A and B are shown apart, each in its own frame.
Chain A
Amino acid sequence: MSMLDIRNVTKQFGSLVAVNSVSMQVAAGELRAIIGPNGAGKTTFFNMISGFFSPTAGDIVFDGTTVTKLAVAERVAMGMARTFQITEIFPELTVRENIRIGVESALGLRQRFWIGAAQKAAVNRGIDEALILTGLTVNADRLVGELSHGDQRAAEIATALTLKPRLLLLDEPTAGMGEHETYAVANLIRRLHKNSAYTIVLIEHDMRVVFNLADKITVLGEGKMLAEGTPDEIAANPIVQEAYLGKAE
């Protein structure tokens, strides 16, 4: 059974059909990249998966449960986490405090007015785990707002990882980054995928990142699914070359 099963979802904003009957299955442990020109409906598609808004038609099934109409908090509780195109983080807190808020929420402590030493220790273990996984240990006590773009993105991914998500959604993780930062973030994603077996769906514009990381690629264009396949299949696909890759290069 697939981790994520999207069945003919459509999203209409007034007369604009942003996403037009797109289906997609992502297997557990898979890394799926969604690509397509600007305005293809990638982020709209993503927002429906993560619960930012619901589709006009179609169904989203996450690990066997239909989540089409569920609120964000309910999807998060089921193990869905996401990052955003423009990094969404707590800028005036340190990296450690950013992660602490995620760990406490994940451990179900978010409405507690008091926690004991054992729980504090569990929280600190969770923080250290996320710091090590994302390579942020040296920056743990710096304010996130002061970090480089790439490290801010890593911190955002770290807070998302505190939820121990069964599905990690990354919206353009390397957007606006230089060569070096793109490489670092791509490496982080590769580690999460290869070493920690996370199921990841990401939107990405950087084709080197996409073709290096993805198990499978879904191509959207003008709200429709243009193609789906392995990186080799996509690279060889004439429709994709014409509609997307040809224009881009």
Chain B
Amino acid sequence: MSTATTTAVTTPVMPARPWLTTAIIFAALLTVPVWLPMLGGYTALAGRVLVLGLAAMSFNLLLGFTGVMSFGHAAYFGLGAYGAGLTLKYIAPSTPLAMVGGVLLGGILGSLFGRLIAQRRGVYFAMVTVAFGQIAFYVTYSWDSLTGGYDGLRGFSRAPLNLGFTTIDITNNSTYFYYFLLFVFAVATGLQALLLASPFGRTLVAIRENERRARFLGIPIERHIWMSFSISCCFTALAGALYALLNNFADPMGLHYSLSGEIVIMTVMGGMRAFWGPLIGAALFVVLQDYISSMTVNWMSFVGLIFVLVVLFFPRGLLGMLQKGTEK
């Protein structure tokens, strides 16, 4: 029998060697500082991939594994960023505390909001998530004294990591900071994998597959959608907190619906039924953005074109298609 982890995570696309994708991805991520400069990239670019990849994977707990579409996930990403920034600026210069602050702000507001909307379905659910996202955006935008308004929140920076026996300088050393991001990313996605392999995770897939059957098996649908939404918001907020640490800056555009749309694009492009799909989508998105935006300000139309091509020719997304291809 295959292990519980692999069955749930890769359903329904079930690659012949479930651990292969994970191994390849981590081998590539661990060696980024070696190979990325050779290709003309820079380490901060890889940091962006990890952060946006984590946001998209967290979003995908909802879209790909619960079958519920949120169009306002940037709100929790942005709130996570502000939570981290405000913690560093006003409470204590501690990087771990900043992450906790970000997760709490985004997670608690997401959970409260999720409680109100768990009864809604389909396009109604999507619309109210957009509405809440825009409320959060305008509040952040207008609350000048606390958030810095349009200019964003400045005047904070990530603090060195104090592990007790030693201190790691993630403030100035970009390689150390990259490995710090990778560590948080690995822990967060590991928790997501465990979640999806648990009985609770299977009820989410059950809701995605057939809500009526799930209900008649005694699964309290609304409660589980709410839990899934809250968990997804917490992880998205963690990604937002990492984004604030990466840039030493948080701005209202981090909550804007255009970022919500980009998260959806990354997820669908990479493959929403594959566990690592959204990360692949985020990598493609960040690289396209970086290369094409250096050539034209209309880079988004090229990303759009590529998105359309991927959806038309690889409906399972890039990773979904690759895993399907290596099957048998």
Contact = CB atoms under 8 A, between A and B. Distances in A.
Interface of A: 50, 72-73, 76-77, 81-82, 84, 88-93, 97, 100-102, 104-106, 109-115, 120, 143, 156, 159-160, 162-163
Interface stretch (B119-127, B163-171, B211-219): B211-219
Contact of A88 (B7, B201, B203, B213): B213
Given A110-B199, A111-B200, A112-B199, A90 B206 contact: yes
A228 B200 CA distance: 44
6 contacts: A50-B216, A76-B217, A88-B212, A91-B210, A111-B224, A113-B198
Given A92-B12, A113-B201, 13 more contacts: A72-B216, A76-B216, A77-B218, A82-B216, A90-B209, A93-B205, A97-B7, A97-B202, A110-B199, A110-B200, A110-B219, A111-B200, A156-B213
8 closest A-B pairs by CB: A90-B209, A76-B218, A92-B12, A88-B213, A104-B199, A109-B199, A113-B198, A101-B206
A115 B209 CA distance: 23
Contacts of B209: 90-93
A153 to B, nearest CB: 13
Contacts of A113: 194-195, 198, 200-201
Contacts of B224: 110-111
A115 B220 contact: no
Contacts of A109: 199
Contact of B11 (A73, A92, A102): A92
Interface string B179-207: 00000000000000011001111110110
Contact of A106 (B198, B206, B213, B218): B218
B215 A93 contact: no
B25 interface: no
